[in-house]
Every structure is written in C-alpha cells, then in structure tokens.
Amino acid sequence: MERYELQSNNRPVCYRCRKARVMCYCSHVKAFVSNPEFVILLHPKETRKAINTGRMASLVLENARIIVGHDLSDDLQLNDLINDPSKRCFLLFPGPAATDLNAIAPLELEDSNTQTDVFLILDATWSMAKKMLTLSTNLQKLPLVMFQPPHPSRFLIREQPGLVCFSTIETIHHIIDQRGHHPDGEHHQLLSLFESMVQKQIGYEEKNRASLRLAKKD
C-alpha cells in the first residue's frame, strides 16, 4: 500500500513518520512490546513538527500510546488508564517533588503478573510541558519521577533547554535501559533510529547550505 502523500510543495511525505521520502525511516523499524509501558502526552503544537521523537518512539513500541492535548483533565482514555488498578502510573517531570527513578522499587515478582509500570512522558517544550501539568488536574495526582541524564542529549538538530535534558525518545530508552525487561537489547534500536535520523538531517541541511552557496556564486 502506498505510504506517501504529497504536500502542497509536491514533496512526497510518509504519512506514518511524517518525514520526507528521502528521510523516511519506517523500513528500519522493528516494533516490539516494551515493559514498562509508555504514554506520550503530545502537545498539539508538536503534531505539526516533522521532527518529533515521540512519534518515532511510538512506531517502535507496539504498546505505546499517544494522547494529544494541552489540558488532559477530562481525557477519557487517560483517566481510564490512571484509574486502572493493573497499571502503576508515573509522570516524568523533574523538580523538587519528583522521586529519582532509581529510588522506585520495581514490582515484586508476584505482582508483575497483575500489574505493569506505566511512564507518562510530556512531549513538548519545557514551557509548554509546565503549562500542560498546570492545566491537567489528573496529572497532578500522579507520583512524579525524574533522572539525571548520564550525558548531553544527542538531539543536535534541536536546541535543548539545558545540558541535562533528553528528548522524548532518549528518555524512553533510558527508562527501559534502567528498568526494562529486555535482555536481548531490542530497545537499543530506539537510539540507533534516532541517531541515524539526526545525522541524515544534519547531512541534508549541510547539502542544502552548500547548494545555496554555489547558487550565490553563480
């Protein structure tokens, strides 16, 4: 089935990853079911961006959910999840009220058959993420967690608000790496896809800049 659609500039764009045909990474995705689970809370403005790592992560994780909105207080899907006794939900949001990820005890073996840890990730700029939390009364009731990224973000094509801020897909990979049950390392494709996309984008932009310089000389 055709996976591309034409934009107004007649550029073919993949309807799944929203990248131009030359940048599409869908053929390299090997989807798997993650444990823990993830819910990506996507600000509406992020849906219009072709480079969105939350979307990329959702294509890799079969059981990931994306919920779009800025005030999620009355979102039925989200509230059903939060109130599901089989889910132990955490909201990733750094701050003085947040518990370090490493301090959260994993589910006991006997409980892991009936409960699943779920991490909710706010996919937005820092200012938009703070506003989403302020507006969403249901999110305010969740335990907050955080972690210290072990290295600067590799999201080189987007300016990060700080040296210790990760993109959504880097965050998800880190949580799985620390708490997941994937000894075969299938979750590492999250980073390999992400880093490949970043390098392709850098190469594409450098090529465009070189073409513009040649055009000016002519």
Q: Which two tokens stand for residue 129?
A: 């993420």
Q: What is the mean pLDDT of residues 133-161?
A: 84
Question: CB-based contacts of 188: which residues, under 8 Å, 6+ apart?
Answer: 173
Q: What is the pLDDT of residue 146?
A: 95
Q: What is the mean pLDDT of residues 118-141?
A: 96
Q: Which two tokens stand for residue 207?
A: 């090529």
Mode of pairing for the β-strands spanning 37-42 and 116-123: parallel
**SS3 for the chain, per residue?**
CCCEEECCCCCEEECCCCCEHHHCCHHHCCCECCCCEEEEEECHHHHHCCCCHHHHHHHHECCCEEEECCCCCCCHHHHHHHCCCCEEEEEECCCCCCEEHHHCCCCCCCCCCCCEEEEEEEECCHHHHHHHHHHCHHHHCCCEEECCCCCCCCCCCCCCCCCCCCCHHHHHHHHHHHHCCCCCCHHHHHHHHHHHHHHHHHHHHHHHHHHHHHHHHC
Q: What is the mean pLDDT of residues 115-125?
A: 95
The rounded percent of the chain whose pLDDT value lies above 90 is 56
Task: Please provide residue 77's backbone torsions phi and psi, each rounded to the nearest 5 degrees.
Answer: -60, -45
Domain boundaries, the chain: 29-209
Q: Is the pLDDT of residue 212 over 70?
A: no
Q: What is the pLDDT of residue 156?
A: 60
Higher-confidence residue of 4 and 95: namely: 95
Asked if residue 99 lies in contact with residue 147, where contact means CB atoms within 8 angstroms, the answer is no
Q: What is the mean pLDDT of residues 71-96?
A: 96
Q: What is the pLDDT of residue 155?
A: 75
21-33 per-position pLDDT tens digit: 888 889 899 999 9
Quote the CA–CA distance of 13 and 7 in Å, as a whole number.
7
Closest CA to 42 of 72, 66, 18: 66
Q: What is the pLDDT of residue 107?
A: 74
186-197 per-position pLDDT tens digit: 999 999 999 988
Higher-confidence residue of 42 and 165: namely: 42
User: In what order do the strands lie in the sheet containing 116-123?
Assistant: 65-68, 37-42, 116-123, 87-92, 144-146, 99-100
